[in-house]
Amino acid sequence: MNRTLYASFLALPLVLSSASVLSKTVTGDAGIPVNIVKPAQRIADAWYAHHSLLMTLGAGDRIVATVNHPSDRPWMFKIQPSLNNALQIQGKDFSSEALVARKVDVVFVPINDPQADAYRQAGIATLMMRFDDFTSMKHSLLSTAEVVGTAQAMQRAQNYNHYLDQQVAIISKKTAELKDNQRPRVLHIQSLHPLKVDGRNTLIDTWIKLAGGQNVAGQVDGNMKEVSPEEVISWNPDVIIIGPGAGKLANSEYASLSASLKAVKQHRVWQNPAGVFPWDRYGTEIALQIQWAAKKLHPDLFPSLNIIKATQDFYQRFYHYPLDEKEARRIIAALPPE
């Protein structure tokens, strides 16, 4: 064997070893293992809420195809302006050909997305994501960090999970001992047209209880379930929280019907904050939502909690965005950027 060939032969195991280090298996939230051959530099994200996880990991600039739009998520596009250069689609189904043309490494999809097979057949690593409580959300963040494939992303995932655990511990320490008659009966309305609420087995139910409330729609199973105004009247909630994109109860067709409700009479109808994503739903800003809800429901238990300052600190720490006080106030009021 000549010297050049011998040197190549000796180098071969080293090359194979390096390739195997780059390749790894990541299990998405559906329990399906996916082979990731390299850190994902070009990402398509078909789950509206999942963008906030990538931004928390410092990987928002890797999103090259998105289901979100500046008109719907103005803060998301302001804080992550690179999204303006991404492919934006209507609905939640990408064209596989468009993703291949954009050299997408990985596509994230919501659980049971029927388009997932088409992406896989196009040779794109496809991860199904879902979380409906704090534990599963933390797992999703770690799985996403694995796909991003950098030490920084994993460190940021761990930092966020630690922060969330801290906030849950602080709040639960003060609300865990509340008796039923001390827990306001809360209704979370996701939509006014049609009338939809969030029931049990949801992240919304989780934060209502953690913040020291009772979910009056607890017999309803799941997210965004349509109900009748008569059901709402029979529940007669102490507090109504309206999703940030749902409009105002006072301007809805149910304004006169709802006038008899305790929450309306006592002026405890609140609009939920919305920033990168609506705080009340499935994004990393749930760590702010639990603080906001706890302070709103039990101000006496949290006298030192300044939600404006907490919002500014969160955006700086996890989105690397220097949110000023005026911007924080607009987010808390569910208003878009000026």
pLDDT digits (tens, 9 = 90+) for 291-312: 999 999 999 999 999 999 999 9
Same domain membership, residue 262 and residue 320: yes
What CA–CA distance (Å, rounded) separates 153 from 159?
10
Q: What is the DSSP string of 189-213?
A: EEEETTEEE--BSSHHHHHHHHTT-
Q: Which residues of 313-335 are buried (b: 16+ CB within 10 A; e: fewer)?
A: ebbeebbebebeeebbebbbebb
Q: Using pLDDT thresholds of 50, 70 and 90, give the confidence band for residue 91.
A: confident
- Residue that has been written with the tokens 């070009």 in this structure: 42
Q: For residue 92, what is the domain's CATH number?
A: 3.40.50.1980
Please provide residue 277's backbone torsions phi and psi, each rounded to the nearest 5 degrees: -145, 155
Same domain membership, residue 328 and residue 182: yes
> Does a structural domain hold residue 171?
no
Q: Among 117, 138, 165, give the residue marking a domain's end.
A: 165
In this prediction, residue 22 carries a pLDDT of 53
Q: Which two tokens stand for residue 332?
A: 């808390």
Q: How many other CB atoms are there within 10 angstroms of residue 261's CB atom?
A: 21
Q: Using pLDDT thresholds of 50, 70 and 90, give the confidence band for residue 256.
A: confident
Query: Which domain, by its residues, includes 317?
Result: 178-332
In this prediction, residue 20 carries a pLDDT of 35
Mean pLDDT of all residues in 154-175: 98
Which stretches does DSSP call E strand in the chain? 24-27, 33-36, 43-45, 63-66, 87-88, 106-110, 125-129, 185-192, 195-197, 214-215, 225-226, 239-242, 269-271
In this prediction, residue 1 carries a pLDDT of 44
Pairing of strands 195-197, 225-226: antiparallel
Q: Among 144, 165, 186, give the residue marking a domain's end.
A: 165
Q: Using pLDDT thresholds of 50, 70 and 90, give the confidence band for residue 33.
A: confident
- Of 22-26, 75-79, 247-251, where does mean pLDDT reach its minimum? 22-26
Q: Which two tokens stand for residue 38?
A: 């390299």
In this prediction, residue 289 carries a pLDDT of 98
Q: Using pLDDT thresholds of 50, 70 and 90, give the confidence band for residue 11.
A: very low
Nearest to 271 by CA among 248, 238, 293: 248
In this prediction, residue 17 carries a pLDDT of 34
Report if pTM > 0.85: yes
> Does a structural domain hold residue 297?
yes
Mean pLDDT of all residues in 205-219: 97
Domain count, the chain: 2
